[in-house]
Structure 1
Amino acid sequence: MKISSLQKARYEYSPKLPGMLRHGISAICVKEGEETQSVADQETIKALFPNTYGKKEITFEKGENTSEAKKQVVGVILSGGQAPGGHNVICGLYDALKATNPENELYGFKNGPSGLIEDDYLIFDDEYIDEYRNTGGFDIIGSGRTKLETQEQFAVAAEVCKKHGITAIVIIGGDDSNTNAAVLAEYFAANNTGVQVIGCPKTIDGDLKNEDIECSFGFDTATKTYSELIGNIERDANSAKKYWHFIKVMGRSASHVALECALETQPNICLVSEEVSAKKMSLSQIADYIADSVEKRAAKGMNFGVAIIPEGVVEFVPEFSKLIAEINELLAGSKADEFNALPTWKDKYAFIENGLTKESMDVFAILPEGIQQQLFLERDPHGNVQVSLIESEKLFSALVADKLAERKEAGTYKGKFNALHHFFGYEGRCAFPSNFDADYCYSLGYNAFMLIQYGYTGYLSKISNLSKPANEWVAGGMPITKMMNIERRHGEDKPVIKKALVELEGKPFKYFEAHREEWAENTCYVYPGAIQYYGPADVCDITTKTLALEQGE
């Protein structure tokens, strides 16, 4: 296989570990902290997790290793969407496992949780692992979105583990995957299988975060990758001086990615879904907000700009959410067949007009025809609108164009408005991990094995103090149940890890809020450039602006 010079150099990079993990396996001891409770719904969560609830937080320190010496056979699973650094979690896990006992084995279950159910695996060795160190992606064993949530699945998983003598499973995933890890850990404990389960916090969306998990892995690399591209577009916009670029970035439920990219690049506009929801902003108000920036800049002779749009923002607009709910109801059951049988879009439009309330029809009517058709023609197998497919960057640029046309007619706007559109998603999920993510992920994997060696289950591998240099990071673990609450999912109450949305009183948003007026009117662009792997630490090892602001750096 031909490899690039960068790939070869990254194979040879030695990730930095937290200080207490550098002493060697035999010199790491455990310090137990307070017993924990879930963030909400304590009695319900406790009843659902009688064997794994209320456990103590733990920290690893320098001292004599008192764990039981036994052969460990560990299975690892990559679950959900890709995130830069996933390979290094597995490398850290493998290295700690082999350093403890060369006889220990690591099974990689292929293509996500389904690999465990289907007993589809490979056994890692040095030669295989070394080809993936410090590289991006999840191609080391593949990933998948199968959920481990039924008793039948758990029973099969227990049988597969028994067959191979597996003592622990490490699940690398986001909030849903780690919720499933907690449920699996409870099943294994309740049925005395002897199999431990450890989770690792992954998501580029940044919404797996709380007082214990300062940052999910992959967020650092993904936002730096997007910010490089946005900076390049800003440079182009400032060169050509004739285009407004509407850039959609990942973030269905939370706007952490959009906000971090805005802090990195200082665009003219960045929408934050959580603010849209809190202020109950309408589509018209959002369009006016962007049009104000276009108008002010045009008055200064600047008919160009950059707007960042989180992919899930339309779901946070109350009137739009109501419209979606009505559409889903309108097309329920046999009505969908009736709608689909209509021969022309004009006939379909009349059907829609007859079926929606006046309020929702008013919203529907202002949408560009392409978006209208997306809402009705691209639905999931249950007949529901696929909101994630809505091209919100095109929606807002079209609404802004309409607003500007009105202002031109009123004589308040005399500029030119030409919009271009971009969506940055997959570009950031499998990049070579930044030094921060390479170090953080390796530490998470190494630390996961220490949790296994000391007998913990239902825990999340936890590395904290992340805004400081790696030698000051603190390694430990926390019970996954501590992060849980009860939410309504598909008509049922379920225990789930609580998603972290952008806090409108938090330091990152407050910094953005204090500067966005100036950015909206003036050209204050910052060009971050490519991720730096070599050079001064203040260039190569810096954390995200979000993490630095949150930690008071």
Structure 2
Amino acid sequence: MKMNDKSPLQIERALYQPKLPEAMKGPVALKEGAKTTSVADQETIKKLFPNTYGQSVITLEKTNNQSATPVVSVGVILSGGQAPGGHNVIAGLFDGLKKLHPDNKLYGFLGGPSGLVEHKYIELTHEIIDEYRNTGGFDIIGSGRTKLEDPEQFDKGAAICHQLGINAIVIIGGDDSNTNACILAEYYAQNNTGIQVIGCPKTIDGDLKNEMIETSFGFDTACKVYSELIGNIQRDANSSKKYYHFIRLMGRSASHIALECALQTHPNMCIISEEVEEKKMTLRDIINQIAKLIAARAKEGYNFGSILVPEGLIEFIPEVKVLINELNDLLAHNGVFNAIPNDEGRREYVLQSLTPQSAVVFESLPLSIGKQLMLDRDPHGNVQVSLIETEKLLIEMTKYRLAEMKARGEYKGKFQAVNHFFGYEGRCATPSNFDADYCYSLGNVASSLISAGKTGYITSIRNLIKPASEWIAGGVPITMMMNIERRHGKEKPVIRKALVDLKGKPFQFFAQHRDEWAKGNKHYIFPGPIQYGGSAIVCDQPTKTLLLEYED
């Protein structure tokens, strides 16, 4: 048998031609809507971004006028964590630029934003692009988490752009990366560099969304991957009938992934961080809720089940959130703390530096969790929640709570738990048809915005629950999504994260059905693997979240 370096799926996916909105299948015209304002802190944001604030929302429309466009060169950056579909954004950008003029060039900066600053790049050609169409991952040029916020970085970036004749930079990233894009666009506009900056909405977390950006790319694929795994685990639990599976799901802050996976698989319990915060639940409240569920199922003869835990849960428990905010400020650029050589000394330093209330909370946590809370912050000054094993904390505390209940005769079942963390499994998966189409369209939109001379915009595709031909393409000023938040102990302009709306249709549907899903084993759904060929209802279906949010 002859061995091939590519799987049958890779070979087949290379042949897939992503679908485009009807308006983008030929020449396009830009229709400008009303002027915009930021979501909050309008006067402050306006002063910080005088050149890019207040621009109009743009819609792309089909036109019969094929106007000549000047030759341009564009640089593209993959920023932050991977998300399925990133390669198709680049392919769509490349094809869009070549459609506008065959002499247009696309350069990829290597290793994320640092490639711009350190002048590391390659020219992306047909041969390179064709190897990565419809594939997962960010390996075409690599990604990174370097934060662009220093004028010296901006100037180094401008120097290489002028050297290569680059007219525009496209930054593909999440809320923090697009905040960087907004700051970079303003700086280049203020200094008359002639370099445009366009963003693309990427994050599997699903928290970069608003009325103009219905979802970020990668969310669809990642949730389908996780839901397949959850379904498989639920089938196993239903077969062996002896384990409770505590499944922590990626999603740095918001619980969109956990909610979407619950809608797809109907677990026995799914904790929603935003609800925990809204109800001011303590860690003890959450443990009592889990123990109550397990005891109730045991009475019916079920000593197994599935419990979904959002990655960022610990930050939403009010008492712990206050603690984390204090720790973020305390540990930001703290040379004294960093010089302490051991965990015991660091813990003692933290306990002495916290407010009395937070010190009590910190001391009550298991040593392992306390240690994880003291780890180095990410480049944006936040605790690295992916390193906090919340599901293990819940298992241990539930075990003790059930033992107390058993001693009082309130629980007679058996409790055996297995912990899981699903994160990286979904970030580089082969994109679903939805993400392949969506990302290719986003890249094409970026080329149109560049051609029109726009800067400080993020690409937007709406009407996503309809067939791709009916999607509405355009661009949104990034300043429209900005507000002021505290980062690294300072007030800074950032894109506001979109958390789960407890009054929104997806959560309301979940809330109406979760008590029913908690009982027995008859409501589990087993989604199975992502399908790429066959009926559109199986292959092109958007997320349950989108369907609930936008269906009549």
The answer for the alignment partner of 2:219 in structure 1 is 219
Matches within 5 A, 1:312-351: 312-324=312-324, 334=336, 340=342
Specify which of 12, 15, 21 is matched with residue 12 of structure 1: 15
Secondary structure at the aligned position of 2:525 is classed as coil
Secondary structure at the aligned position of 1:494 is classed as strand
Q: Does 1:147 align with 2:150?
A: no
Secondary structure at the aligned position of 2:493 is classed as strand
Q: Does 1:421 align with 2:423?
A: no
Equivalent AA in structure 2 for residue 340 of structure 1: N
Q: Do the aligned partners of 2:90 and 2:443 also contact (CA within 8 Å) in 1?
A: yes
Q: Deviations over 1:187-216 (max 9, x none)?
A: 221222221111100000000001110000
| Change beyond 3 A, Cα 1:54–1:339 | same
The answer for the alignment partner of 2:527 in structure 1 is 528
Matches within 5 A, 1:298-309: 298-309=298-309
The answer for the alignment partner of 1:489 in structure 2 is 487
The answer for the alignment partner of 1:511 in structure 2 is 509
- Distance in 2, Cα, partners of 1:243 & 1:28: 56
Q: Deviations over 1:16-44 (max 9, x none)?
A: 0001111x2xx321211111111111121
Equivalent AA in structure 2 for residue 101 of structure 1: H
- Distance in 1, Cα, partners of 2:213 & 2:253: 18
The answer for the alignment partner of 2:438 in structure 1 is 440
- Distance in 2, Cα, partners of 1:255 & 1:363: 23
| Change beyond 3 A, Cα 1:360–1:410 | farther
| Change beyond 3 A, Cα 1:360–1:160 | closer
Q: Do the aligned partners of 1:243 and 1:418 also contact (CA within 8 Å) in 2?
A: yes
Out of 247-256 and 320-329, give the one that drifted further: 320-329
The answer for the alignment partner of 2:256 in structure 1 is 256
Matches within 5 A, 1:351-366: 363=361
- Distance in 2, Cα, partners of 1:484 & 1:395: 35
Equivalent AA in structure 2 for residue 10 of structure 1: R
- Distance in 1, Cα, partners of 2:423 & 2:269: 19
What's the CA shift for 1:340?
A: 3.1
Secondary structure at the aligned position of 2:169 is classed as strand
Matches within 5 A, 1:373-388: 373-375=371-373, 378=375, 387-388=385-386
Gapped regions of structure 2 (runs ≥ 5): none
Secondary structure at the aligned position of 1:139 is classed as coil
What's the CA shift for 1:381?
A: 9.9
- Distance in 1, Cα, partners of 2:530 & 2:376: 38
Q: Deviations over 1:372-395 (max 9, x none)?
A: 55456x455999975542210000
- Distance in 1, Cα, partners of 2:240 & 2:167: 60
The answer for the alignment partner of 2:539 in structure 1 is 540
- Distance in 1, Cα, partners of 2:42 & 2:161: 31
Q: Deviations over 1:286-326 (max 9, x none)?
A: 00111111011111111000111111101111222344467
Q: Do the aligned partners of 2:268 and 2:305 also contact (CA within 8 Å) in 1?
A: yes
Equivalent AA in structure 2 for residue 6 of structure 1: L
- Distance in 2, Cα, partners of 1:458 & 1:381: 25
| Change beyond 3 A, Cα 1:358–1:491 | closer
What's the CA shift for 1:357?
A: 7.4
The answer for the alignment partner of 1:242 in structure 2 is 242
The answer for the alignment partner of 1:121 in structure 2 is 121
- Distance in 2, Cα, partners of 1:463 & 1:327: 39
Q: Do the aligned partners of 1:17 and 1:443 also contact (CA within 8 Å) in 2?
A: yes
Pairs aligned (count): 545
The answer for the alignment partner of 1:31 in structure 2 is 31
- Distance in 2, Cα, partners of 1:46 & 1:174: 22
- Distance in 2, Cα, partners of 1:409 & 1:356: 37
| Change beyond 3 A, Cα 1:100–1:433 | same
The answer for the alignment partner of 1:70 in structure 2 is 70
Q: Do the aligned partners of 2:203 and 2:219 also contact (CA within 8 Å) in 1?
A: yes
The answer for the alignment partner of 1:549 in structure 2 is 548
Q: Do the aligned partners of 1:68 and 1:453 also contact (CA within 8 Å) in 2?
A: no
| Change beyond 3 A, Cα 1:94–1:335 | closer
The answer for the alignment partner of 2:188 in structure 1 is 188
Equivalent AA in structure 2 for residue 475 of structure 1: A
Secondary structure at the aligned position of 2:319 is classed as helix
TM-score, normalised to structure 1, is 0.93
What's the CA shift for 1:370?
A: 3.8
Q: Do the aligned partners of 2:176 and 2:494 also contact (CA within 8 Å) in 1?
A: yes
Secondary structure at the aligned position of 2:143 is classed as coil
Matches within 5 A, 1:32-111: 32-65=32-65, 69-111=69-111
- Distance in 2, Cα, partners of 1:70 & 1:265: 51
Q: Do the aligned partners of 1:220 and 1:436 also contact (CA within 8 Å) in 2?
A: yes
What's the CA shift for 1:352?
A: 8.5
Equivalent AA in structure 1 for residue 6 of structure 2: I
Matches within 5 A, 1:268-279: 268-279=268-279
Equivalent AA in structure 1 for residue 342 of structure 2: N
What's the CA shift for 1:363?
A: 4.4
| Change beyond 3 A, Cα 1:222–1:35 | same
Secondary structure at the aligned position of 1:171 is classed as strand
Q: Does 1:3 align with 2:6?
A: yes
Out of 317-326 and 43-52, give the one that drifted further: 317-326
The answer for the alignment partner of 2:401 in structure 1 is 403
Secondary structure at the aligned position of 1:411 is classed as coil
Secondary structure at the aligned position of 2:96 is classed as helix
Specify which of 456, 462, 465 is matched with residue 463 of structure 2: 465
- Distance in 2, Cα, partners of 1:497 & 1:352: 30
The answer for the alignment partner of 1:392 in structure 2 is 390
Q: Do the aligned partners of 1:29 and 1:64 also contact (CA within 8 Å) in 2?
A: no
What's the CA shift for 1:55?
A: 1.2
Q: Do the aligned partners of 2:250 and 2:386 also contact (CA within 8 Å) in 1?
A: no
RMSD, aligned CA: 2.5
The answer for the alignment partner of 1:479 in structure 2 is 477
- Distance in 1, Cα, partners of 2:343 & 2:458: 51
Equivalent AA in structure 1 for residue 196 of structure 2: Q
Q: Do the aligned partners of 2:378 and 2:384 also contact (CA within 8 Å) in 1?
A: no
- Distance in 2, Cα, partners of 1:349 & 1:189: 46
- Distance in 2, Cα, partners of 1:100 & 1:336: 53
Secondary structure at the aligned position of 2:307 is classed as strand
Secondary structure at the aligned position of 1:197 is classed as strand
- Distance in 2, Cα, partners of 1:351 & 1:495: 31
Q: Does 1:174 align with 2:174?
A: yes
Q: Deviations over 1:445-464 (max 9, x none)?
A: 01110111111111111111
What's the CA shift for 1:229?
A: 0.4
- Distance in 1, Cα, partners of 2:73 & 2:338: 52
Equivalent AA in structure 1 for residue 468 of structure 2: A
What's the CA shift for 1:521?
A: 2.3
Secondary structure at the aligned position of 1:522 is classed as coil
| Change beyond 3 A, Cα 1:122–1:351 | closer
What's the CA shift for 1:131?
A: 0.5
What's the CA shift for 1:552?
A: 2.3
Q: Do the aligned partners of 1:367 and 1:399 also contact (CA within 8 Å) in 2?
A: no
Identity of aligned residues (%): 62
Q: Do the aligned partners of 2:82 and 2:137 also contact (CA within 8 Å) in 1?
A: yes
| Change beyond 3 A, Cα 1:242–1:147 | same
Q: Do the aligned partners of 2:456 and 2:478 also contact (CA within 8 Å) in 1?
A: yes
Secondary structure at the aligned position of 1:253 is classed as coil
